[in-house]
Structures are given as structure tokens and as C-alpha cells.
Amino acid sequence: MASHESQCSCSAHRSTPSVHQSLDEMDFERGIWSAALDGDLERVQTFLKKGTDPNMKDQAGYTALHYASRAAHQSVCELLLDHGACANSQTHGGATALHRAAYCGHISIVKLLLNHRADPSLTDDDGSTPLHKAAEQGHLETCVLLVSRYPVLKTMKDKKSRLPVDLSPDHKTFLELLEPPQ
């Protein structure tokens, strides 16, 4: 169904009026999460200077670090971690910032999180590790990094008894990298 704005040429802008937003959406937009997702370093700094907890979760259980990691905003991730953001905070679905970065193939963010003690063996509600997420998306460089630091990840099965190799694209490089020892 077309919106009113697409039907009316007199509309000056396309933003959704706040009366159409839920309270959760308005809280998100006014909060640190939106600033982190947008990579707005100055706004994130302002929130932190005003005492906003970098580990504060939105309604879905995501922290600002989850959003910044997913969007590959390195400087925002560094700032949040330097201000005490927990690299292992999990959403209601069990995802960590490392899951998000690995799924997206953001290698520099994966390195940053691992250097800040992110636990790559934490699983989400499906039993997936960050290696499962990187493998299913075909992010070879991320898989190489995770396996080089934590070889045991190759042997971890998700809740459907799948190894990371079972989720990877069917090419030789992935199979050689992710195949667990017999």
C-alpha cells in the first residue's frame, strides 16, 4: 500500500511523522543506539559524557556496540569499548556484537572485539557461534581469523547438529579450513 507522501506531491519530506512511530522507535532514535548505528561519533560521545551506560539495551536486547559492530563503525566501537561496553553482551536471541560483525564479514571489527576479550564460543539461541555466522555468509577472511585464534570453534555444533563447515559455501578453501579433525 502506498504511503500518503508518495500519493501527494505537496509533501516537503519523506520522514515518518512521529505520531506514526511507536514509543520504542522514538526511544531508539533518541538514544545511543541510533547514534551508534549511524556512526555518529560526536553524538555517542555526548551520550557517554552525560552518563549514558554503554551497556544499556534497547527493547530487543541490543546494545550500542551491537549496532556499531553490525554497521562497521570502528571508531564508535572503540569509543564504546573504551567506556566499558561489554564485548560479550547478548541480545534476547543470544547474539553478541561478535556474531553481528562476523555475520557481516567486518574483519576489523571482529579483530577489535577479540582484542577486547569477546568470547567466540558464545552461542545464540540457534546454537550458532560467530564462526557459524561467518561461514554461512561466505566470509573466508573472518573464518580464517576465528579458526586461527580458536581452532576448537570448528568442532562446535549448532542446535541442528551442524558444524560451521556444513554451512559454508561449497568450495575447497572453506572445506579445508573448517573441516574438524577426525
Q: What is the pLDDT of residue 176?
A: 85
Q: What tens digit of pLDDT does each residue of 117-161 get? A: 999 999 999 999 999 999 999 999 999 999 999 999 999 999 999
Q: What span, in angstroms and rounded, lies between the C-alpha atoms of 182 and 167?
A: 18
Q: What span, in angstroms and rounded, lies between the C-alpha atoms of 152 and 57?
A: 30
Query: Given a cut of 90, is residue 5 above it in pLDDT?
Result: no
Residue 14 domain-assigned?
no
Q: What is the pLDDT of residue 28?
A: 55
Residue 120 domain-assigned?
yes
Q: What is the pLDDT of residue 19?
A: 52
Give me the chain's average pLDDT, please.
Answer: 87
The C-alpha cell at 72 is 562497521
Q: Decide: 77 and 109 in contact? Cβ < 8 Å.
A: yes
DSSP 152: G
Query: With left for phi above 0 and alpha for psi between -120 and 50, is residue 39 left, alpha or beta?
Result: left
For residues 28-40, average pLDDT? 87
* Least confident piece of the model among 13-17, 51-55, 95-99: 13-17
| Cβ-based neighbour number of residue 117 at 10 Å | 10
The C-alpha cell at 55 is 551497556
Domain holding 62: CATH number? Answer: 1.25.40.20
Tell me the residue type at 135: A
Same domain, 119 and 74: no
Quickly list DSSP for 69-82: HHTT-HHHHHHHHH
Residue 131 domain-assigned?
yes
Q: What tens digit of pLDDT does each residue of 51-90 get? A: 999 999 998 999 999 999 999 999 999 999 999 999 999 9
Angle, CA of 103, 132 and 107, to the nearest 5°: 40
Same domain, 135 and 78: no
Q: Decide: 60 and 72 in contact? Cβ < 8 Å.
A: no
Residue 7 domain-assigned?
no
What pLDDT band is residue 15 in, cutting at 50, 70 and 90?
very low
122 contact partners, CB below 8 Å, separation of at least 6: 88, 90, 94, 96, 98, 99, 129
Looking at the structure of the chain, the number of domains it has is 2
Q: What is the pLDDT of residue 99?
A: 99
Residue 1 domain-assigned?
no
Full domain range(s) for residue 156 = 113-175
Residue 16 domain-assigned?
no
Nearest residue to 62 via CA among 104, 30, 103, 34: 34
Q: What is the pLDDT of residue 10?
A: 32
